[in-house]
DNA sequence: CGGAGCGTTGAGTACTATCAAAACAAGTGG
DNA sequence: CCACTTGTTTTGATAGTACTCAACGCTCCG
């Protein structure tokens, strides 16, 4: 499960490990770029992607206001994206798991709008944006897919907005657990048993709650036998109930 | 100020009104698509844009789950975008003023992720997405600009996320007033005197507050002589103070 | 083993929501 | 033009959810 790499802060550019894979044989398949592309197209994409950047827990992939050069697809491990507010506080804007693409917020101003930090040992595919643009011009399908990827990021942000704007602490936590569950399922991992890579602090920050509230909600959901929580290990005991909690039950009429 | 069009539900396709303008002589200039394009490019863009769709207050430009065909640039008037949550409630995701582009959330799934409703009499430029895609392939600059536009939408959503996650009612209202103020300024309108096109309900919905709270905050800011509020008419009396309210003063150390 | 950071739990508080009522504005039809 | 309806906005009283402050148990790692 964990990556067979460690301690390679200065990663050797090419070695024979599994991160050497190409897009065509990547086990993440079509998750990262939902490409129903011809083999030829995949090869071209493959050309521009730079692999082999293992990061340790706590390492930054990029920082806010860094020059924007590339977007990144997570290959293994996980990341949090966050921005620093005017008054110095941190706002977590998203968590990223294998197959998901980060950094598109940097396109607007040619500098990253948020920082990305590894929550555990992690590896990414770096996709230089200029090359991607150029290739998109030649390959309308790729352009379309990338538009879709960005659009999806927009709709996901809007879902979070709704969550923050309308939902209670329990609903927010339940929604996050369900989100992580389904993203796991997409990668053929267990939808009911998983380990949270992020701290309670990050969860609270992301969901607009304090750590204490997050902790209390977990305790409550455990008491209700909806979740089994043991530190970062989560087991969904009652999926239906969890969905009910998330869905806002309110049936006034 | 209001548009010289009314009652044209079935808008005549071509008439001699001012909405006949082309991109090259549009007084919104580079606001909508920040195009530093060559004249030739602008003409090509102009070709694909469909104008003359005046809407009345309350009319929908598109609805959630409508087929996605186009994005829209606001020409006059204003819109709110909203999505309906699973339990039937409404979540306002944004307000759109002249020069701003709506509908990019629809690209991901080829159907609109939210509805767009005119807050007052309004007109738009419709930009068919397929044509835009095709043109982008031929014009890398246009592709780049459109990527940037989408990226900007992402960063703006993230700002709203931060606002909802971290800020008090007063801070949220202040931030919205400042946002509207600066968007007005960009269009060479007054940054201190303006009319809110949306209701208190919409403001509250957008900012994750109840109507009552919105109203109370306006009253308080008025008492503090930061704002002059008279129904929908807003005057910013003390910009500095308003920025202080928005910026989270908290200077613990 | 001990410290540092993380996570949990408790008590009290505060901000915002909820409920309720009334003033006000806008639109309709007689 | 006015009575009437409907929806919006404001204000007040009360309640509840989540925050703050505080203490303590747990983990991880040097």
Exposed (0-12), middle (13-18) or buried (19+): which is A96, by Cβ within 10 Å?
A: buried
Kindly list the distances between the CA atom of residue A104 and the CA atoms of A111, B132, B143, in Å, as whole numbers in the listed order.
Answer: 10, 20, 14
Q: What is the pLDDT of residues B140-155, one digit of tens each?
A: 888 888 888 899 999 9
Q: What is the pLDDT, as a whole number, of residue A53?
A: 66
Looking at strand C, which nucleotides approach a protein CB closer than 7 A?
Answer: 6-11, 15-20, 25
Partner residues linked to B193 by β-bridges: B235
Residue B92 CA to nucleotide C30 C1', Å? 39
Residue A155: pLDDT band by 50, 70, 90 thresholds? very high
CB-strand contact B210/C, under 7 Å: yes
Tell me which chain B residues have a C-beta less than 8 angstroms from the C-beta of A153.
Answer: 154
Of the two residues B139 and B24, the one the predictor is more confident about is: B139
pLDDT above 70: residue A199: yes
Q: What DSSP designation does B68 have?
A: P
Buried b / exposed e over B186-206, threshold 16 CB at 10 Å, is: beeeebbebebbbebebbbbb
Contact A112, A84 (CB under 8 A): no
Q: What is the pLDDT of residues A211-223, one digit of tens each?
A: 999 999 999 999 9
Closest chain B residue to A165, measured at CA: B208
Q: What is the pLDDT, as a whole number, of residue A27?
A: 72
Give residue B185's Cα distance to chain centre.
14
Residue where the block lists tokens 């990223």: A96
Long-range (24+ apart) CB contacts under 8 A made by A243-246 are A243/A174, A243/A178, A245/A170, A245/A171, A245/A174, A245/A221, A246/A171, A246/A174, A246/A175, A246/A178
Q: What is the pLDDT, as a whole number, of residue A30?
A: 67
Tell me which chain B residues have a C-beta less than 8 angstroms from the C-beta of A160.
Answer: 161
Residue A224: pLDDT band by 50, 70, 90 thresholds? very high
Classify domain A18-139 at the CATH topology level: Jelly Rolls (2.60.120)
Q: What is the pLDDT of residues B204-234, one digit of tens each?
A: 999 999 999 999 999 999 999 999 998 899 9
Exposed (0-12), middle (13-18) or buried (19+): which is B3, by Cβ within 10 Å?
A: middle
Q: What is the pLDDT, as a whole number, of residue B44?
A: 84
Tell me which chain A residues have a C-beta less than 8 angstroms from the C-beta of B100.
Answer: none
Phi-psi region of A99 (alpha: psi -120 to 50; beta: other; left: phi over 0): left
pLDDT above 70: residue A102: yes
Kindly list the distances between the CA atom of residue A235 and the CA atoms of A35, A225, A242, B40, in Å, as whole numbers in the listed order.
Answer: 32, 10, 11, 60
Contact A118, A61 (CB under 8 A): yes
pLDDT above 60: residue B189: yes
pLDDT above 80: residue B13: no
Q: What is the pLDDT, as a whole number, of residue B118?
A: 94
Helices (H), chain A: 39-48, 129-138, 140-166, 169-186, 200-207, 211-223, 239-246
pLDDT above 50: residue A17: no
**Measured between alpha carbons, how far is B40 from B46 in angstroms, rounded to an integer?**
10
Distance from CA of B189 to the nearest CA of A (A): 25
Q: What is the pLDDT of residues B149-174, one digit of tens each?
A: 899 999 999 999 999 999 999 999 99
How many C-beta atoms surround the C-beta of residue A132 within 10 A?
20
CB-strand contact B248/D, under 7 Å: no
Are domains B18-152 and B167-246 of this chain identical in fold? Answer: no
Interface test with A, best of B154, B210, B213, B247 (most A CBs within 10 A): B154
pLDDT above 90: residue A52: no
How many C-beta atoms surround the C-beta of residue A223 within 10 A?
9
Mean pLDDT over the full length of chain B: 85
Q: What is the pLDDT of residues B88-98, one digit of tens each?
A: 889 999 999 99
Q: SS3 string of B188-218?
A: CCCCCEEECCCCHHHHHHHHCCCHHHHHHHH
CB-strand contact B219/D, under 7 Å: yes
Distance from CA of B7 to the nearest CA of A (A): 34
Q: What is the pLDDT of residues B101-152, one digit of tens each?
A: 999 999 999 999 999 999 999 999 999 999 999 998 888 888 888 888 899 9
**Measured between alpha carbons, how far is A215 from B164 in angstroms, rounded to an integer?**
21
Query: Among 1.10.3720.10, 2.40.37.10, 1.10.10.10, 3.30.420.40, what is the CATH number of B167-246?
Result: 1.10.10.10
Task: Classify domain B18-152 by CATH number.
Answer: 2.60.120.10
Length of chain A equals 253
Would you kindly state where each structural domain of chain A is located, as residue ranges?
18-139, 167-246
Q: What is the pLDDT, as a whole number, of residue A35?
A: 64
Q: What is the pLDDT, as a whole number, of residue B43?
A: 83
Residue B253: pLDDT band by 50, 70, 90 thresholds? very low
**Measured between alpha carbons, how far is A218 from A189 in angstroms, rounded to an integer?**
22
Q: What is the number of CB-based contacts under 8 A between chain A and chain B? A: 144
User: With pLDDT > 70 as the criterion, what percentage of chain B qualifies?
Assistant: 85
Q: CB distance from A164 to chain B under 8 Å?
A: yes
Q: Under an 8 A CB cutoff, do A161 and B161 touch?
A: yes
Q: What is the pLDDT of residues A121-134, one digit of tens each?
A: 999 999 999 999 99
């Amino acid at each position: 499960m964990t990556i067979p790499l460690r301690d390679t802060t200065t990663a050797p550019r090419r070695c024979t490990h599994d991160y050497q894979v190409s897009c065509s044989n990547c086990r993440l398949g079509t998750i990262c770029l939902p490409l129903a592309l011809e083999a030829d197209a995949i090869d071209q994409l493959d050309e521009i992607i730079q692999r082999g950047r293992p990061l340790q827990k706590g390492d930054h992939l990029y920082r806010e206001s860094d020059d924007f050069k590339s977007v990144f697809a997570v290959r293994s491990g996980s990341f949090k994206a966050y921005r620093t507010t005017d008054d110095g506080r941190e706002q977590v804007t998203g968590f990223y798991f294998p197959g998901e693409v980060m950094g598109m917020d940097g396109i607007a101003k040619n500098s990253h709008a948020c920082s990305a930090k590894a929550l555990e040992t992690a590896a990414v595919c770096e996709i230089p944006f200029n090359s991607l643009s150029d290739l998109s011009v030649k390959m309308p399908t790729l352009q379309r897919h990338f538009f879709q990827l960005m659009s999806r990021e927009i709709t996901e942000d809007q879902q979070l907005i709704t969550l923050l704007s309308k939902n209670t602490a329990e609903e927010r936590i339940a929604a996050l657990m369900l989100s992580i569950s389904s993203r796991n399922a997409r990668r053929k991992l267990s939808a009911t048993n998983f380990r949270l890579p992020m701290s309670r602090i990050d969860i609270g920050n992301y969901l607009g709650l304090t750590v204490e509230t997050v902790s209390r909600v977990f305790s409550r959901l455990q008491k209700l036998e909806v979740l089994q929580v043991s530190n970062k290990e989560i087991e969904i005991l009652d999926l239906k109930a969890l969905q009910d909690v998330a869905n806002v039950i309110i049936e006034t009429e």
